[in-house]
Chains A and B, each alone.
Chain A
Amino acid sequence: MVEALHPSGSQAMISQLLSPDQVVLDLKGDFSSALRRLAAVACPGKDMGPALDDLILAADDSVMLAGEGISLPHLRVAGLDQPRISLGLSRKGISHRGKRFSLILFLATPEQDSAGHLKLLQRLKALLPQLRNDLLKAKTAAKVVAVLAAGEETSVRPTFFNLTQDQVAVELRTDPVSGLSSAQAKSRLSLHGPNQIRRVAGTPEIIKLLRNFFSFFAILIWVAALLCFVPGVDMPQLGVAILLVVVINGFFSFLQEQRSDRAVEALQRLCAQQCRVLRDGRTVQIDAALLVPGDVLLLEEGDIVAADARLIDAVQVEVDNSSLTGESESAKRYKSDNPILLPGKFLWIELPNVVFAGSVLVSGTARAIVFGTGMNTEIGKIAGLTQAIKGEESPLQKQLRATVLSITLLAGGLGLVFLFLGWLVAGLTFVQAFVFFIGIFVANVPEGLLPTVTLSLAMGVTRMARRNAIVKNISSVETLGCTTVICSDKTGTLTQNLVMVTHLWTDGDLYTVGGEGYRPEGAFQRNGQTVNKAQLTENPATARLLECALTCNNAHLEKSRGQWRIVGDPTEGALVVMARKAGLHGTHQRLHVNPFESVRKRMSVVVRGAGAAERLLYVKGALVETLGLCDRILREGLIRPISESDRSQVMTASDDLARQGLRILALAYRDDLEDSGDWGVDRAEQKLIFIGFTASSDPVRPDVPEAIESCHRAGIRLMMITGDYPLTAECIGRQAGIGQLNPNQRLAVMDGAEVMSMDDDRLKAVLSTGETIFARVAPEEKLRIVSLLKQLGEIVAVTGDGVNDGPALRCADIGIAMGRRGTDVAKEAARMILGDDNFSTIVAAIEEGRAIFENIKRFVAYVFNSNPQELYPYIFWMLFPEMPLTMTVMGVLAVDVGTDLIPAMGLGIERPEKGLMDRPPRAKTEKLLSMGFILRAYFIQGTILALSCYATYYFCGWYMGWWAPPDALSSMPASPAGLKMDLATPAYLMSLTAYFFPTVTTQIANVLCKRSWKTSLFSKDFIDPQHRREILDHIGTWRPWSNDRVNQSQPAPPGPGLPPSTGSLWWQWLAFPLRVLRRLLTRLGRRLEKPLIRPAAAAMSRTLERHPVTLNFVSNPLIDIGIVFELGFCVLLFYTDLARIYYFAPVPWPVYLFAFTGTVVLTAFEEAKKFLRRRSHRLEFLG
């Protein structure tokens, strides 16, 4: 499914690149011959002689040596498709330049992948020294590979970018001081290509064009054209003209379809356009596309990093990786040649001495050597992964394809049976029999199926949009309905994406802080008792803590458009909000600031105190570091020396909160500062008085626990996949209710490294049951989790916001991007966008998705019930040749257009029924159409409808005197000889009308009854109370120009006296008269509003409220419009010139009235079924 999921090249494990036949256990000879042997084993058939000579001659120790007794000769080879390695062991050792090597690993990587080369090199350099002894003990080649594999799996030593700056420069053949020369840059550009994200080739244009020439519609026209050339028809000129039409139509349809892949464009937009580099020792500004590996990139605050690069010089560098990771907090980056210990296996994005393409330098200046450009950057790989994932068919699309195929086979089979019976048995000519084939085929193919599905999905999309879920890929709507697993991220989706102080500890007491968001309102509680503002400010400890929090702070709170927001750092903002909740406002004059530094982990400010000479220092920072600087503590209103017991009490209290995933911030002060003006860090930040600490968190959204409970009721499992730390993730997960699907099952929490170390089978076992929280997860692992869930047969919905989420979003059955904080890349890769970033919106969308499948099932039932009425006339006519044909092919086509379209589509827009979210998700295998269903539709309900048609047909005969009960049934007006309809008698045409009209009237009952499976159409509970209220409000407030008002904000198209817009000019001029007419009608409507429309709408609403059963009949306007359309269409068919085309003639009014008996009979039948269903009789056999 996803080729890119299988690691290859530099992404693969080293043990995966090394097979046993690439291991030489008895390496002998001198270094040169050993190297040649290893090169031959690694790259069989590749002549690397000159390159190896260069390597042996030019290699210096820093490149060749990986550790004691280990040599790591490596080179980059043009034309290599993927990295190759071979390993040689020599117990005696092989001498080279005075050193002996017992282990030689030869590495060759593709010339163009310098980033991959560096990655493999650093991993080998980290791994080989650890495994040296074990490798030398191995007796077989397979054992050697096994040792390497085990070493990679269990290595506790952190892996890091451990090549020195010089090594990086040597590997990339560049000079860190003067950069590349122009000539080098030019040749590398031709080798590596431009630094751009490339679009992977999609479906060829010619295939797209051909699709338009062979769509179902185009095939119909082809058939028409080809028929013109059939001997006996002989209309070649017409054939050529129709061929021209079909070609033109195909080209225009193709032009309409042209649409580009915006995901790639969004990625391209993220990348820098210009950058500064060192070339020939000079600083030059170049197009970022011209950047090549080895270039020395110069960065300063505000720059977008143009390529992946290793920092060789960095001053106060902070980068914003949010476009890559979605995490809003910026990260520090350093120049470092020393190993930087990252616990466990590292996430590539966390490397502290590397900057990545697409990140933004928030502060500082830097110099970096470019090692990855274009598709070899991390963002390029994400683009590659995103594009590699093919769009899969949704479950509904698969169902529809299967359904359409079965129906087509059924219709085609029946048609063929009748074709041969008519031709060979009934004595018709082949062409006559072929016409019947068409009739039966058209009668049985529910052409309205796909349009209704489209409409049903579109309605779902519209309703979801009202609930803040924007669906991009329409077929995804229904997929939501069968979702079995939701993989949600944490920040902003389950949580509010803000920092809020929830606890404060001072003077030995723990206070809880209430409130929501950044609104400065909330209660303080101590031991469950509310503490009012006066008590807080009177207590010296809380008063001092709040003052410190507010004063030692660079953020401020403001109200914008009714919303409270923080300007500045969110963590500092949370302290301001806490202080404002206690009623504090800033009063102190700031004299000096010691800004926050990551090394000190604190900041401090000096302010003027109450006395003229009083100077106060307020400090906030990490607890351990700040507490270490305190020699006194504020307790019970007094300042006293801090004891070990005090320190222990503080640490215990903070540990309890930290275990709940809260972030701790200590607050301290000093009131004995000298007024010297020298308030630097070293002099001022000492001898502090400890006040207390605050604990903050990103709280769970209030409606999330209920939404998750709803998911559990609906049989949907939740997985949290987050980049945050396990403790925090677990805490939030528990608060939200994750893990409560099965109370007997423990909530599992795993971090990214654990996931990485598990093979697919073990991970599948974890994923197959219960709910799990995955923390510190890299994009590749997120994609792997999603992919494995899909392999387990789950329908997976995945949320994401960063560029790194792109692959998982595209791989998921339904990718959901965050509308507010999501990157363009995530939005483009996703199929749905949440306008409010809220998890509960997903649950609402799932309900809509389920409703859609129900509606499509209703539609299929409706259409299949109507088919037999069109089929029986042919069967009887074929079986009993003396019987007249009661429905012609044209009649079938008329039914097809008249009844299968609008009323059927009305069923597609029904709202969700009550209790829809209390059922488990439907099985992926649940069919829209089963054989049992088809048989029931044909033989039970279809027969009742056909009987009704025949009853009216014979009633017409009786009424007109053509037939009376003792007469044979065949004594009705006969079909014209050879079915030459221009010879048909008026009586025969009237009899056709008599059979046709009940097909319409019975369908009225059919469509109304199919609106609910159980609830009676005449019940007050037919419509959900909430929906009823909405409908009544809608009717009561209806105004004919309401859309006009809504759209006033949109630009109007041009026309005389109207401003121009961006739309197609010719179309707007064409539409101008319609717009004028609309405006005139609008004006008329406004004039009539007060005297007529407003009171009429209100009266209508009131009336319908009093008569809920009447409301049942008008609550789905599309069905009502469809019924009116059907009846109006009949009038046109019977009383206009269309009667000559479709072969009808008017009948007396009692015949029309009689036809409505079918409506009554069917309604009674359906109501009886619903009555029995409500009493738990399944009644499947009744259809």
Chain B
Amino acid sequence: MQSLKTKRHPVSAIITAVGLEKIARHLALLACLSIVFKSNGWSDTGAPAILFLTAAACLLHLGAGWLKRCTRPGPRP
């Protein structure tokens, strides 16, 4: 039989997941803009910083995905 219990704090976890995803996209966009800005000489952001931005964006995105998976509502077998 299935348990009808829902998982803990789905709403706060979803808000966190959504926030993380939003920030991840924001960072990815920043990385794109940084490359454009750097090529135009508008800013002097280094390649390591851009790579860091990209990696951070991916990590946050994965974290958001993991949280969403954990908070997926419904019964557990």
A: residues with CB less than 8 A from B are 216-217, 220-221, 223-224, 227-228, 230, 232-233, 235, 237-238, 241-242, 245-246, 248-249, 252-253, 256, 262, 265, 429, 431-432, 434-435, 438, 442, 447-448, 451, 454-455, 458-459, 461-462, 465, 470-474, 819, 824, 827, 833, 835, 889-890, 893, 896-897, 901-902, 905, 909, 979-982, 1043, 1047, 1050, 1118, 1141
Q: How far is the CB of A448 from chain B (nearest CB, A)?
A: 7
**Known contacts A474-B73, A897-B26, A979-B42; can you find 10 more A-B pairs with CB under 8 A?**
A221-B28, A221-B54, A253-B65, A461-B73, A470-B73, A470-B75, A472-B74, A473-B74, A897-B22, A905-B18
- Report 27 cross-chain contacts, Cβ distance below 8 Å, ordered by A residue: A217-B21, A220-B28, A224-B54, A227-B32, A227-B36, A241-B54, A245-B55, A249-B61, A253-B62, A435-B36, A438-B29, A438-B32, A438-B33, A451-B18, A458-B14, A458-B73, A461-B6, A462-B6, A462-B73, A470-B74, A472-B75, A833-B75, A897-B23, A981-B42, A981-B43, A1047-B8, A1141-B30
Q: How far is the CB of A971 from chain B (nearest CB, A)?
A: 25
Assess A447 versus B22: contact at CB under 8 Å? Given A238-B51, A462-B6, A982-B43. yes
**Are A893 and B11 within 8 A (Cβ)?**
no
| Residues in A whose Cβ lies below 8 Å from that of B62 | 249, 252-253, 256
**Are A893 and B30 within 8 A (Cβ)?**
yes
CB closest residue in chain A, given B56: A245
Q: How far is the CB of B71 from chain A (nearest CB, A)?
A: 7
**Are B19 and A233 within 8 A (Cβ)?**
no
CB closest residue in chain A, given B1: A824
Q: A253, A455, A835, A893: which contacts B18 (Cβ < 8 A)?
A: A455
CB closest residue in chain A, given B72: A474
A462 to B2, CA, bound (A): 18
B: residues with CB less than 8 A from A are 1-2, 4, 6, 8-11, 14-15, 18-19, 21-26, 28-33, 35-44, 47, 50-51, 54-55, 57-58, 61-62, 65-66, 69, 71-75, 77
Q: How far is the CB of A209 from chain B (nearest CB, A)?
A: 14
Assess A470 versus B4: contact at CB under 8 Å? Given A233-B39, A455-B15. yes
Q: A230, A442, A458: which contacts B10 (Cβ < 8 A)?
A: A458
**Are B11 and A455 within 8 A (Cβ)?**
yes
**Are B33 and A901 within 8 A (Cβ)?**
no
A1043 to B11, CA, bound (A): 14
| Residues in B whose Cβ lies below 8 Å from that of A256 | 62, 65-66, 69
Q: How far is the CB of B42 from chain A (nearest CB, A)?
A: 5
CB closest residue in chain A, given B69: A256
| Residues in A whose Cβ lies below 8 Å from that of B2 | 824, 827, 833
Q: B23, B36, B50, B71: which contacts A431 (Cβ < 8 A)?
A: B36
| Residues in A whose Cβ lies below 8 Å from that of B22 | 447-448, 451, 897, 901
Q: How many A-B residue pairs have CB under 8 A?
A: 165
| Residues in B whose Cβ lies below 8 Å from that of A833 | 2, 4, 74-75
**Are B4 and A819 within 8 A (Cβ)?**
yes
**Are A237 and B47 within 8 A (Cβ)?**
yes
A221 to B60, CA, bound (A): 13
CB closest residue in chain B, given A241: B51
| Residues in A whose Cβ lies below 8 Å from that of B26 | 893, 896-897
**Are A228 and B65 within 8 A (Cβ)?**
no
| Residues in B whose Cβ lies below 8 Å from that of A1047 | 8
CB closest residue in chain A, given B32: A224
CB closest residue in chain B, given A223: B32
| Residues in A whose Cβ lies below 8 Å from that of B66 | 256
| Residues in B whose Cβ lies below 8 Å from that of A232 | 39
A474 to B74, CA, bound (A): 9
Assess A893 versus B14: contact at CB under 8 Å? Given A245-B55, A431-B39. no
**Are B25 and A447 within 8 A (Cβ)?**
yes
Q: How far is the CB of A478 from chain B (nearest CB, A)?
A: 14
| Residues in A whose Cβ lies below 8 Å from that of B36 | 227, 233, 431, 434-435
